[in-house]
Chains A and B, each alone.
Chain A
Amino acid sequence: MGLNLFNKLWDLHTVKTLESGQDQLFVGLHLIHEVTSPQAFQMIRERGLKVAFPERTFATADHIVPTESQARPFQDPLAEEMMVAIEKNTQEFGIQFFGLDSRDQGIVHVVGPEQGLTQPGMTIACGDSHTSTHGAFGTIAFGIGTSQVRDVLATQTIALSRPKVRRIEIDGALQPGVTAKDIALHIIAELGVKGGIGHAYEYAGSAIEALSMEERMTLCNMSIEGGARVGYVNPDQKTFDYLEGRPYTPKGEAFDRALRYWQSIASDVDAPYDDVVRIEAEIIEPMVTWGINPGQAIGVGRALPSLDSLMEEDRESAQLAFEYMGLGERQPIKGVRIDVAFVGSCTNGRISDLRAAAAVAKGHRVASHVRALIVPGSKRVRDQAVEEGLDQIFREAGFEWRDAGCSMCLAMNPDQLVGREVCASSSNRNFIGRQGSPTGRTLLMSPPMVVAAAIAGEVSDIREFQTAGTGA
């Protein structure tokens, strides 16, 4: 019997089984950012340790970075202190840092792939739960806490228990207007926000094979919102084509050798899984969240559930969500008024997301009561978008065009909701207070849906929106 990719890579990277029963796993690529690393470096210093493999760690700054003006020192002294800390730490320990003065800075999960650092067959760790993004390349990529960042710095390894592997097979063709984001939200709504605990997700099937690399990243990115620390797609020709020619991708003969390794690590056709879930691509609709966790999502044409239609264990959270969101049972989600629109984040801040957003925005105007932001996921994405004239389209439509960073995905930089504002957002979390106001409200959706909402001033169905746009 064959092996799946996950178990092949786990075996290849296991240094030892520890006395505790956990495996000591070699981490092939370690990514760090300014928020979860300073304490780890401090612990390394206090214990008089060294960084074991400094050439396998790469750093960027994303969470606290302002996107309006990135002039130093930052206005916020705490943010400035964190920036100084990562500059100092990476310099002291000899770690490559994609800082603000580099044209390669950006959100850590956008930078890794676009630099070609993320490659099939790696184990990848980062002090950030959305590290699952890198699974799009056929890797084991997972988020870790700061004490584990310390372990990786000190030893390039980590102690972990082997999870189970669930294959999620999606076959068929997606309906028009349905994106990778909608697949992710659909899966989470189906399997629940804790459905993936203890599991790695392998996404497979013809609908997944048809996705571009950037769409696969969007899908894998949201694995953690369904409880799965790891999500991955088997590498294929699209993966290899994406990587060829990037700064850190092997060149020449080394690339040919790399290809052989990359092809060898894909799941075997007869590989066993702990569990298989099948979903038909046709049934997936453009999705919108209505609540306070990403599993509280419905098709845009539908109404919020009634409490008694929910499983008992979900009622309390739904009740809290109704109160917090100011939405009621059986209320249609379409037509809910929004105040803010945000396209960006490590889920949907790549060039293909901006292209899709611009295609909807072109020739329209943002509703007068809506504040709308477009935030590229990296400086390279920004530059590419400018080259294609997307920034012009956005500006003409009334969007603010920003510099690279996490921005309004979380409340660590100046881009935040105010009061009870409702935000149509292409990010990944709709938790209470996530976007910076303790009473702010988030509706997660795909970038085209965010733009449609920005223009209409309320949640809209992208399928109707496009018809209206082209039929006029």
Chain B
Amino acid sequence: MEELTRKQIKGSGIAVRGNEIDTDRIIPARFLKCVAFDGLGESVFYDERYDAAGAQKPHPFNDSRFAGATFLVVNKNFGCGSSREHAPQAIMRWGIRAIVGESFAEIFAGNCQMLGVPAVCLGAVEIKDLMQAIEKDPQLEIELDMEARAVRYGDREVVFELDEGVRTSLVEGKWDSTALLMANEGAVREKAQSIPYLNAFQNA
């Protein structure tokens, strides 16, 4: 059963190295020809994992040592490019529950948030260390503590910063914003009355 809050996430990790890994690399556009997100997990990083003949290429996501990983660890500006939610969907549906990286593209981070997948930033040195630790010991247990704002593994603890609103909504299980926004329906209708272009500019 899907847990309803993201106070704490535990599990092993998988590292995908490289800056500027864009959404076309995460999920090539041809896999967007679908009317549902189901099944996208299998196609994550497809062109990086398979050659033209469908044979496997060396890639962490093809490496059985990392199968079942909970954390994806990445470098800078991960998820740059398109707004396709298919990218975090594919990662999530493969089994990832949280992403830890040096930095994320803005729309990608927002999409992760909407799915309840924490996208947490650590410094370059800390990411390098975490990646090395995972590669040395693929079974290494990593813990993301959203209340203490800390990532722990082995005998290390790294504290991170995260927008308070983002953090609270994950901790309290309120990342699905539709209900929160709908609760203000009256205020939305009222706002609409005061926006000039919705009222033939009568109130401009």
Contacts and interface: CB of A to CB of B under 8 A. Distances in A.
Interface string A142-167: 01111110110011111111000000
A119 B197 contact: yes
Given A15-B188, A121-B196, A159-B177, A411 B29 contact: yes
Contact of A22 (B22, B115, B165, B191): B165
Interface stretch (A214-222, A361-369, A382-390, A425-433): A425-433
Interface string B78-102: 0011111110100000000000000
Nearest to B180: A18
Interface stretch (A34-42, A172-180, A202-210, A280-288): A34-42
Interface in A419-443: 429, 431-434, 436, 438-439
A292 B107 CA distance: 20
B188 A26 contact: yes
A121 B85 contact: no
A418 B128 CA distance: 37
Contacts of B169: 20
Interface string B184-204: 110110011011111011101
B197 A261 contact: yes
Interface stretch (A192-200, A269-277, A330-338, A370-378): A192-200
A26 B191 contact: yes
7 contacts: A15-B187, A24-B184, A147-B85, A147-B177, A157-B184, A229-B106, A313-B19
Interface residues of B, number: 63
A18 to B, nearest CB: 6
Interface string A63-107: 110000000000010110110010000000000000000000000
Interface of B: 18-20, 22, 24-25, 28-30, 32-37, 47, 52, 76-77, 80-86, 88, 103, 105-107, 110-111, 114-115, 163-166, 168-169, 174, 176-178, 180-182, 184-185, 187-188, 191-192, 194-198, 200-202, 204
A275 to B, nearest CB: 16
A119 B163 CA distance: 32
Contact of A26 (B76, B165, B168, B192): B192
Contacts of B106: 197-198, 227, 229
B85 A21 contact: no
B188 A411 contact: no
A26 to B, nearest CB: 5
A438 B195 CA distance: 46
Contacts of A53: 192
B24 A431 contact: yes
B83 A143 contact: yes
A155 B181 contact: yes
Given A15-B188, A81-B35, A193-B20, A145 B200 contact: no
